[in-house]
Amino acid sequence: MNSGDILRYVMIIVGVYLLWVAILSLAKRKMTEPFCLAWGFLSFLMILGGILLRPTGLSSYISDTGLVLILLLGGLGLMAAYFISRQMSDLARKNQELTMQISLLNQENERVLAVLEGLTGKLKMDL
């Protein structure tokens, strides 16, 4: 088995794993839909790349140790990108929740001021 075949199999396995993780993250509401869609598209491209590309002359350019190093660095890069996208998704969800809470608080504040105005008969004074 040459290094080109190893790279193809790794790309297919990583693509299937990324697709599975994206679907689970969407089901557990850990990531929002746009991020899951992007990860699903990336995993689909990796699976297609692993199936369709045939790197036959790869072993003449990269040694087996170099391929392992490249795969490790690529894996670390994918994990870092997944972590960042998950954090950004969490922040977007929290931001949306805070926006809804502020809207509800503003609405409640307007009701309280209207009741206060009705009880005192005075208009509210803006400071």
Q: Is the pLDDT of residue 37 over 70?
A: yes
User: What tens digit of pLDDT does each residue of 22-36 get?
Assistant: 999 999 988 999 999
Model confidence, pTM: 0.77
Contact 58, 4 (CB under 8 A): yes
Q: What is the CA radius of gyration of the chain?
A: 26
pLDDT at 126 over 60: no
Give DSSP secondary structure letters for 86-116.
Answer: HHHHHHHHHHHHHHHHHHHHHHHHHHHHHHH
3-state SS of 54-75 is: CCCCHHHHCCHHHHHHHHHHHH
Cβ contact 26:36 at 8 Å: yes
